[in-house]
A and B are shown apart, each in its own frame.
Chain A
Amino acid sequence: MNMLAHARNELGLRLYLARRYWLESVSGFVLILGSFVGLLHAVMAAGEMSIHSERLNGLILGFVLWMYAGTAYSSTSSEVAEEIRARSLEQLCMGPLPLWRILAIRAILHIAGGTLILLLSFTVIAWLGREELHLLDPAVLGIVLLAAPSLLGFGYMVAGVLLVLRKMETLQLLVYPGLIALIALPAYPLNGFAALPFAYGASAARFAVGGGALGALDFIVVASNSLGWLMLGIAVFKRFEREARRLGVMGHG
C-alpha cells in the first residue's frame, strides 16, 4: 500500500473526528479566524493604519510564524502525547508503516490545514477591508513553509522522549517559550543562531517583510537547516522508539 492510501486513511480519521465533534471543530476554526481577523482590525482601527502598512504586515507575519512553528512542533509531539493518553499508541506501533511515517503524514495534514486556515483568514481580511489580497509576499510564505520542517524534527525529538517516559506532557509544554525565542532570535544575516531550528527562516521572513530581498542563498540555508533538523529529529525519534521497545514500556497504561 502506498503512502497516498495511508494519507487518505489519516485524512479520513481527521474527517471522522471533525464530523463527530463538529461543534468543537467549527468553534476552533472560528476562534482562530476570529481572533486573527479581530486583532488585525483592532490594530488597524487603533493606529489608523491601512491594510498595506508595514507594521500590520509585521503583525500578520508574527501570526504566520507562530502558526507554522506551533503546528510543525506540536503535530508530532502532541499526536504522540494524545495517543498515549488514549492508550491507542500501541495500535499505531503494530502497523506495517513505521510510526515516524504515520506522524509525518499527520504533520503534513496539520500544516496543510493550517495553510488553509491562513488563506481563509487572508480572504476574510481582504473581503472585510474590500482590498486586493496582497498581504504577504509568496517568497515570505515560501521561506516560512520551508523552515517549518526543522521544528517538525524538533517535535520528533520530544515525541521520542514521550515514547520512553510516557507521562511527560509538561516537557511538551515547556518547549513553547523556546519556540518563541527561536522566532525572535536575530539569525539574519547568517550567524551562529542560524544553526538553530526555524530561527534563520523566521529572521529572513522578517527581513523580507521589512522590505529586504531574499536571495537563493537564503532559501538554500533554510532548506539545509530544515533538512538537517528533520533528519536529526527522525533519527532521535527512531532511537527512542527502539529504546521504548527494548525497555518494554509500549503497552503500559
Chain B
Amino acid sequence: MEKRHSIPSSARVSSGTHDEAHPCTPSARALRDPAIHAMSGVCKHYRRGGVQIWALRDIGIDFRTAGVTGVLGPNGSGKSTLIKILSGLCTPDSGHISPPGAPARWRDIGVLLEGRSNVNERLSTFENARYYCTLREHRFDRPYFEHLARQLALADPYCPIRQLSTGLKLRSSLLLAFIHRPSMLLLDEPTLGLDVSGVACLEALIASCAGEGARVLVGSHDLAFLERICQRIICLNEGKIVFDGSADAFRSIEYAYKVSARFTSPDPSCIPEEWKEARFVGHQATLLLEKHEDLCRFMQRAQHNLAQLQAFEVSRLTLHDKYMQLLAGGMAPETGP
C-alpha cells in the first residue's frame, strides 16, 4: 500500500522556486473567490453489467489556493468523473461540495468536456459565445471575445463551427469555456486534437487566467503540457487520490534525478561499483538519485569508468518519469469506503 502524499495547505499556496518562474506567481494573483471552495469525502460508483465499479473514493480537494492544478491518472482512474462532479453534470453518491447550491456556482464555472466541442456547430464561435455567455448570466464582452479569439489564434470566429477543422473546433470550445471569465475552469483533455501552436496558445491563455486569480483544473494525459503549466498535481488511481501536492514535490518524491547509460558489455563483472544499484535492461542502465549531493558523488566516481559506456545522460526526473514510476509500482489504493 502506497502512502498518500500531501502537503499542508499553507505549503500549497506556493511551490517555491517553480512558482517564481511561472507567470502566475501568488503575488501577481488578485485572488478571486472560487466557485467551488472544496470537496470532501466524495464517492461515486457506477454499475456495469451488475458489477459495482468505484469511480471515486473518499476524494477531498481544497480549491482555495490559486493556480493551475493538473489531474493525472491512468484511463478509468476517475479524472473525467471528478470533472463531471465538479461541473454538476454528475452527482456524487456521498460527500460534500462547498459552497452548496449548484446552480449559483455554475454561473462561475467554465468547462471543457473530454476534449470535445460541446457547442452548437451550426452557429459561429461568436454566436455560440454570445449565447452561452448570456446563458451563464454574464454580460457578453465583445472586446474580450476578440481578445480570446486572438489568443487562441481563431482566424475566423464568425464562420459556422461545423466548417472548421477538429483542432479549430476545440479552440472554439475552449473560447466558450473562458468567455464568461469564470473563477474556476475545468478542462478535461484540453490538448486532444490541438497542434503544437494550439497547445502554446492554450498554455498562454491558462497562465493569464490563472494570473487573474482563476482556479484551473486540467485533466490530461499530456504530461509535458501539465508539467509546463501546473503548480499543483493531483494523482488519481482507481478512484483514489494517491498524491496531492506541488508539481515539484511530485517529481522529487524519493528521487529527483535520473542517470541513464548504455554499457559496452552487459557482463555483470564489468559493471563498476557505482552502478550496482541501477536497473538494467540489456546494455541499458537507469539509476535514480534522490539529492543533488548524491548526483555529485556519483559523477565523481563515474568519471573514471566512462570508457565502459557508449552513451550517458543525466536528467531531472520529469512528471512523465515519476508518473510511469508510480504506475509501474502499482499505485496501490487505500481501503475504499
Q: What is the interface of chain A, defined by CB distance below 8 A to chain B? A: 1, 5-6, 8-9, 12-13, 16-17, 20-21, 86-88, 90-98, 102, 242, 245-248, 250-251, 253
Give the dominant DSSP class at B's interface: mixed
Instruction: Give the distance in Å from the alpha carbon of A96 to the alpha carbon of B80 in the complex.
Output: 22
Contact B84 A251 (CB under 8 A): yes
- B233-251 near A? 1/0 per residue, CB < 8 Å: 0000000000000000000
Known A20-B122, A21-B122, A88-B120; judge A97-B135 contact (CB<8 A): yes
Q: Which of A6, A9, A96, A251 has a CB less than 8 Å from the CB of B89?
A: A251
Residues of B within 8 A of A102 (CB): 135
Known: A20-B123, A250-B89. A90 touches B81 (CB 8 A): no
Pick 18 A–B contacts, CB within 8 A, sort by A. A1-B134, A6-B135, A9-B135, A13-B131, A16-B123, A88-B120, A90-B89, A90-B111, A93-B89, A94-B106, A94-B111, A95-B136, A97-B135, A245-B90, A246-B90, A248-B46, A248-B84, A251-B84
> Which listed residue, A9, A17, A87, touches B134 by the CB 8 Å rule?
A9
Cross-chain contact B130 with A12 (CB below 8 angstroms): yes
Using A13-B131, A90-B89, A248-B84 as known contacts, say yes or no to A96 and B136 having CB atoms under 8 A apart. yes
With a cutoff of 8 Å between Cβ atoms, the chain A residues found around residue B122 in the complex are 17, 20-21, 86
| B58 part of interface (Cβ distance < 8 Å) | no
Q: Which residues of B contact A (CB under 8 A)?
A: 44, 46, 55, 80-81, 84, 87-91, 103-104, 106-107, 109, 111, 113-114, 116-124, 127, 130-132, 134-137, 160, 176
Contact call A1/B113, Cβ cutoff below 8 A: no
Q: In the complex where A86-B121, A88-B118 touch, is A94 in contact with B87 (Cβ < 8 A)?
A: yes
Q: Are B135 and A92 touching (Cβ within 8 A)?
A: yes
Complex contact A245–B89 (CB within 8 A): yes
> A96 contacts B106, CB within 8 Å?
yes
Among all A-B residue pairs, the 6 with the closest Cβ atoms: A250-B89, A1-B137, A9-B134, A248-B90, A96-B107, A16-B127
Q: List A contacts of B111 (CB < 8 A).
A: 90, 94
Further pairs besides A13-B131, A86-B122: 18, Cβ < 8 Å: A1-B137, A5-B137, A6-B134, A13-B123, A16-B123, A17-B123, A20-B123, A21-B122, A87-B116, A90-B118, A92-B135, A93-B89, A95-B135, A96-B104, A248-B81, A248-B84, A250-B89, A251-B90
Give complex CA distance A92, B335 in Å.
37
Interchain CB contact under 8 A, B160 and A9: no
* A residues in contact with B132, CB < 8 Å: 91
Contacts of A95 in B (CB 8 A): 103, 106-107, 135-137
Partner of A251, one of B103, B113, B123, B136: B113
Instruction: Report how far A250 CA is from B102 CA in the complex, Å.
Output: 16
Chain A residues whose C-beta falls within 8 Å of the C-beta of B135 in the assembled complex: 6, 9, 91-92, 95, 97, 102
Bound state CA distance, A12 and B131, in angstroms? 8
User: Are B120 and A94 in touch, CB under 8 angstroms?
Assistant: no
Instruction: Verify B119–A91 contact, CB threshold 8 A.
Output: yes
Distance in Å: Cβ of A8 to nearest Cβ of chain B: 8
A246 to B88, CA, bound (A): 10
Residues of A within 8 A of B118 (CB): 87-88, 90-91
Residue of B81, B104, B109, B127 most packed against chain A (CB within 10 A): B127
CB distance from A158 to the nearest CB of B (A): 21
Q: Is there an interface contact between A246 and B91, defined as CB atoms closer than 8 Å?
A: yes
User: Would you call B103 and A96 a contact (CB within 8 A)?
Assistant: yes
User: A98, A245, A253: which contacts B116 (Cβ < 8 A)?
Assistant: A253
CB-nearest residue of chain B relative to A17?
B122
Partner of B109, one of A8, A9, A12, A94: A94
Which residues of chain A are within 8 angstroms of B87 by Cβ–Cβ distance?
94
Contacts of A88 in B (CB 8 A): 118-120
A38 vs chain B, min Cβ distance (A): 30
Residues of B within 8 Å of A12, CB to CB, are 130-131, 134
Q: Residue A250 contacts which of B84, B119, B124 (CB distance < 8 angstroms)?
A: B84
- CB-CB under 8 A from B81, the residues of chain A are 248
Verify A251–B114 contact, CB threshold 8 A.
yes
User: Nearest chain-A residue to B121 (Cβ)?
Assistant: A86
Residues of B within 8 A of A247 (CB): 46
Q: Determine the residue in chain A with the shortest Cβ distance to B173.
A: A91
Instruction: Please state if A98 and B103 are interface contacts (CB–CB under 8 Å).
Output: yes
User: Shortest distance in angstroms between A75's beta carbon and chain B's nearest beta carbon?
Assistant: 17
Residue of B80, B84, B160, B176 contacting most chain A CB atoms (<10 Å): B84
A13 to B118, CA, bound (A): 16
- Closest-by-CB residue of B relative to A93 is B89
Most chain B beta-carbon contacts within 10 A, residue among A6, A20, A94: A94
